[in-house]
């Protein structure tokens, strides 16, 4: 009988199903409800059919971005003057800079990423470790 060695994963690793579940749990419920509606899907599709290219880089647009965060407010969400076509790469970069990525709130209740840890120059056993503060 063939034998397969165990697969070793880094600490904190999650499979796609677990990541998707956590995304839904931590996302703002009002925003999630708006974005999962059939009305949004058809409006998004129509908008991308009319606005085919990313406003940042000129690549084909795949995402409808809200220029200003809507925070689940329906009136702001549906205001088409606030929509802009973006490719996934540019949208991810914009979202990470403005609200911490994926519409999730930061630790202080405001958007923003936590600062990256300070890593040592020499990794131990191939893995870098945070320096003591």
Residues 6 or more apart whose CB falls under 8 angstroms from that of 24 comprise 32
pLDDT for 132 equals 54
Domain presence at residue 12 = no
Domain presence at residue 20 = no
d(CA 100, CA 103): 7
Domain presence at residue 1 = no
Domain presence at residue 63 = yes
Judge whether 66 and 77 are in contact, CB under 8 Å: yes
Separation of first and last alpha carbons in the chain: 52
Taking 80 as the threshold, does the pLDDT of residue 110 lie above it? no
The band of 133, judged by pLDDT with boundaries at 50, 70 and 90, is low
The pTM for the full model equals: 0.59
Domain presence at residue 88 = yes
Domain presence at residue 10 = no
pLDDT tens-digit readout, 54-102: 999 999 999 999 998 888 889 999 999 999 999 999 998 988 887 665 5
pLDDT for 99 equals 67
Domain presence at residue 110 = no
pLDDT for 65 equals 93
**Structural domain total, the chain:** 1
Question: How many Cβ atoms are within 10 Å of 63's Cβ, its own excluded?
Answer: 18
| Domain ranges, residue 43 | 27-99
- CA neighbor of 87 nearest in space, from 48, 39, 113: 48
d(CA 51, CA 92): 18
pLDDT tens-digit readout, 18-41: 887 777 677 778 888 898 899 999
């Amino acid at each position: 009988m063939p034998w397969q060695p165990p697969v070793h994963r880094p600490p904190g690793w999650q499979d796609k199903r677990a990541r998707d579940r956590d995304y839904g749990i931590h996302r703002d419920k009002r925003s999630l409800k708006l974005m999962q509606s059939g009305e949004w899907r058809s409006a998004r599709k129509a908008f991308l059919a009319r606005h085919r290219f990313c406003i940042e880089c000129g690549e084909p647009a795949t995402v409808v971005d809200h220029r200003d965060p809507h925070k689940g407010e329906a009136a702001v969400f549906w205001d088409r003057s606030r929509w802009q076509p973006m490719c996934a790469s540019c949208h991810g970069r914009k979202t990470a800079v403005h609200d911490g990525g994926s519409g999730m709130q930061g630790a202080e209740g405001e958007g923003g990423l936590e600062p990256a840890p300070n890593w040592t120059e020499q990794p131990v056993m191939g893995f870098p470790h945070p320096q003591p503060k």
